[in-house]
Structure 1
Amino acid sequence: MKQFFKRLSLGVVALVPLLFAFGCGKNSASAAQTTTIKIGIMSSDERIWQPIVQKLKKQRINLKLVEFSDYNQPNKALTDHQLDLNSFQHYDFLASWNKSHDTDIVAIGETYMTRGFMYSQKIKSISQINQSNQAWR
């Protein structure tokens, strides 16, 4: 649970530059309007973003979550202007995507890092990994 709140906090912190950018330049007549921002996320991240969606509603920001299951789709949607933002990749993936697709997507902030998984055909549990065990090499 502690890790969930840490991820949630990092997600909110990552949105601060976004909120500032979308909030600047509005006059008082448009202050009552709701701004919609479409953000691409991986489908497993929806539960992390829902509290952020609720918090932003109070600030008249409609954060629309667009879920993806393939890591190439969010960048394509962003490049095609179907999204305003996406949140799913690390810097190396972004650099590789930009190079291979001749795009210039840039990071505007950092967010949480989702859990990683380890796979093996030899090791059956984490407790089997130690420096004296040669099975993982």
Structure 2
Amino acid sequence: MKKTGWVLALVLMLTVVLAACGGGSKEGSASPEPSGSQAAATEAPTDGSSTEAPAQEVTLKVGVSPVPHAEILNLLVPVLKEQGVNLEVVEFSDYLQPNIQVFEKQLDANFFQHTPYLEKFNADHGYDLVNVASVHVEPFGVYSDKITSIDELKDGAKIAIPNDPSNGGRSLLLLAQHGLIELDQNAGVDVTVADIKANPRKFEIVELEAATLPRVLDQVDIAAINTNFALEANLNPVEDALFIEDKDSPYVNILVTRPDNKDDEAIQKLIKALHSPEVETFINETYKGAVVPAFNK
């Protein structure tokens, strides 16, 4: 009996000790509160970094003519990338789709046209697209594969001009400025072939799609060609044109958006980048007078 009592006492003692050692590990018991630096580490990082997720990159789709517009914007792709804007440059060979796709929200903006063209396009289509930034002037030029001086132009010569109202009128004004035709003074910038008041040398005015004009130079005597299409055809307005507009041309190329997104942060970042000294230097050094910066005029 003494031996049995001693064993029971030993078992009871061990039970008490084990219960004391396992006190905080019972299932469902509360975890101990963190203290000191442990609490601080739980509440905030110690390296000063933010716990917020980084801002999501924004994609900005801009429709352009290949030259010089795409070349200028491609320069800015890495610049805007650092600012959280993925600039997607979409090239077009016509003057209709860039405006249509901006209006239909397939593009965020476009960069290919001047203000008179935009105003005419808006009026004709019932659009409300807006000019948000002036960028550069492309002096319009007259070219030929057949003569090297305008003095060699013969009576009855065939003259090709763009068939869109804005650039067609611009061509006629340039021809009149150099004495080849005379225009109705009341026509303004919306002048058309119907406003030719005098054509004493019987020139044949042929209206064709602007993009095709460099390709028909061998079929006409002279052609008035937009600088972007001239550059694409390896024609240098300064060196190859018989004559060009002066640098005070009102036909400044512009960045165009919709009223609903004109103040968006990504658009404003693009405008600031387009007006940077780097873009001004790029235009001057790359095009050497064939394209002229307009934002510091």
Normalising by the smaller structure, the TM-score range is 0.5 to 0.7
In the alignment, does 2:75 pair up with 1:56?
Answer: no
Distance 1:86 1:115 in 2: 20
Q: How far did 1:121 drift? A: 7.4
Among 133, 136, 153, the residue aligned to 1:109: 133
Unaligned runs of 5+ in 1: 1-27, 129-134
Distance 1:40 1:61 in 2: 16
Counterpart of 1:64 in 2: which secondary structure?
strand
Mapping of 1:1-137 within 5 angstroms? 29=52, 32-44=55-67, 45-114=69-138, 116-120=140-144, 123-125=147-149, 137=180
Q: How far did 1:30 drift? A: 6.7
Tell me if structure 2 keeps the 8 A contact 1:41–1:87: yes
The amino acid of 1:95's aligned partner reads: E
Q: How far did 1:50 drift? A: 1.3
Structure 2 vs 1, CA of residues 60 and 102 (structure 1 numbering), >3 Å: closer, same or farther? same
Deviations 1:93-129 (A, max 9, x none): 001000110111111111223353323577424898x
Q: TM-score, normalised by structure 1?
A: 0.64
Distance 1:93 1:38 in 2: 21
Indicate the structure whose relative CO is greater, using CA pairs within 8 Å and at least 6 residues apart: 1
Counterpart of 1:89 in 2: which secondary structure?
strand
The amino acid of 1:80's aligned partner reads: E
Structure 2 vs 1, CA of residues 116 and 29 (structure 1 numbering), >3 Å: closer, same or farther? farther
The amino acid of 2:105's aligned partner reads: H
Distance 2:134 2:63 in 1: 15
Distance 1:64 1:83 in 2: 10
Structure 2 vs 1, CA of residues 31 and 94 (structure 1 numbering), >3 Å: closer, same or farther? farther
User: Equivalent pairs: percent with the same residue?
Assistant: 38
Q: TM-score, normalised by structure 2?
A: 0.31
Distance 1:102 1:65 in 2: 26
Unaligned runs of 5+ in 2: 1-50, 153-177, 181-297
Bigger Cα Rg: 2
More displaced 10-residue stretch of structure 1: 69-78 or 41-50: 41-50
Distance 1:41 1:136 in 2: 34
Tell me if structure 2 keeps the 8 A contact 1:87–1:111: no
Q: How far did 1:42 drift? A: 0.5
Structure 2 vs 1, CA of residues 118 and 59 (structure 1 numbering), >3 Å: closer, same or farther? same
